[in-house]
Structure formats: C-alpha cells, structure tokens
Amino acid sequence: MLKDMTLDWTVGALADGLECYRRREFFEAHEHWESVWLRLDEPVKGFLQALIQTSAAFHHYRNGNLAGTVSLLTRALRRLERCDVAFGGIAVGPLREGIRGWLSGLEAGAVPEAAPEIHPLH
C-alpha cells in the first residue's frame, strides 16, 4: 500500500476542482486537477490521476458513454486500491466503495444515484 502524502484541498486548483466535482461539473473538475497532476511525482501523481479518471468517467456517463465510464472507473479503482484508506488528504476507503458500487450497478443494468463523494480529511 502507498503511504499517505497529503495534498492541500483548501486552496488553488485542487480546491476548485473539488468544488466543481461536488457541483457535478465533472469535466471542469478534471481540468483543474490535471493542471496540478502535470507537476507531481509518484506516488501522489498516480493517486491524483485516479481522481481525474473518476471525474472523467462521470463526464462520460453524463454523455451516455457507458463503456468509457466503466473503463475509467475500473482504471481509477485499480490505482486507488494501491493507496491506504487515507491518502493525499482524501478519505480513499469510501471513494473506493462508491466506485465499486457504481461498477456493480452498471454491470447489473441499474443506474446508480449520484457520483461517489470525495471527502478531504481536513
């Protein structure tokens, strides 16, 4: 498991992206986070990539691209499974569970209610 490396989710592009994600502005969240992702090193780069993939998956879902949604959520989950339950200043455990629920729901032909929440630790 990757050990915690905290990012600051209260200011700048990370905070802006989180606010967009909460407002279900998934493409915009992806854009904010990608601007930070480009400057990071592993392992936190891979972690943030998982959040970007998650946000992009829900953008695809909104546009009716179920294959893209499943592919991106699956890749994001693989990255998040390498992290501790808290990593990068985010509660990763609940996010992983939410993504698993979405994947199970989509596989069963059910439409899940809302995108999993991303909870900062502070």
Three-state DSSP state, 90: strand
Can you read off the two tokens belonging to residue 49? Answer: 């990539």
pLDDT of the residue at 2: 40
Residue 113 has pLDDT above 90, yes or no: no
Report all structural domains of the chain as residue ranges with CATH numbers, in order of start.
12-107 (1.10.3450.10)
pTM of the predicted model, to two decimals? 0.93
* Band (5; pLDDT cuts 50, 70, 90): low
- Reported as a single tens digit per residue, the pLDDT across 83-104 is 999 999 999 999 999 999 999 9
- Reported as a single tens digit per residue, the pLDDT across 6-53 is 789 999 999 999 999 999 999 999 999 999 999 888 899 999 999 999
Contacts of 46-52 with C-beta under 8 Å, sequence gap 24+, read 46/2, 46/79, 46/82, 47/2, 47/5, 47/79, 47/80, 47/83, 47/87, 47/88, 47/90, 48/7, 48/88, 49/79, 50/75, 50/76, 50/77, 50/79, 50/80, 50/83, 51/76, 51/90, 51/118
